[in-house]
Structure 1
């Protein structure tokens, strides 16, 4: 689970690479999931992207599982 701390801009989360609670930069990205051009406008989904500021490991998770 992510927690806020007294750092300047970030959240601490468990990093699977570092095996520690480290500072992460967290953002939301809209990704197109369809490879067909005619359906691309209907296939955008939000993803939570987290990047460890210690080792650079990135992970993403789809936010909408509908």
Structure 2
């Protein structure tokens, strides 16, 4: 879980690669999941993207698991 405690300017989260709570840059991206051109406009889903500012490890998680 992300926290803002003890962080200079951002979120601290656990990083699997660093094995520590580190500063992360977190954003939300809209990604198209369909490879079919005619359905692409209906297959966009939000993803939470988190990047460790110490080692650069990047993870993403689909936010709408319907």
- TM-score when scaled to structure 2? 0.95
Please name the residue that 1:7 is paired with: 8
Consecutive unaligned residues in structure 2, runs of 5 or more: none
Aligned residues: 65
Correspondence list, 1:1-66, <5 A = 1-5=1-5, 6-8=7-9, 10-66=10-66
Consecutive unaligned residues in structure 1, runs of 5 or more: none
- 3-state SS of paired residue (1:14): strand
- TM-score when scaled to structure 1? 0.95
CA drift of 1:24 comes to 0.1
CA drift of 1:7 comes to 1.2
CA deviations on 1:24-51 (whole Å, 9 max, x unpaired) are 0000000000000000000000000000
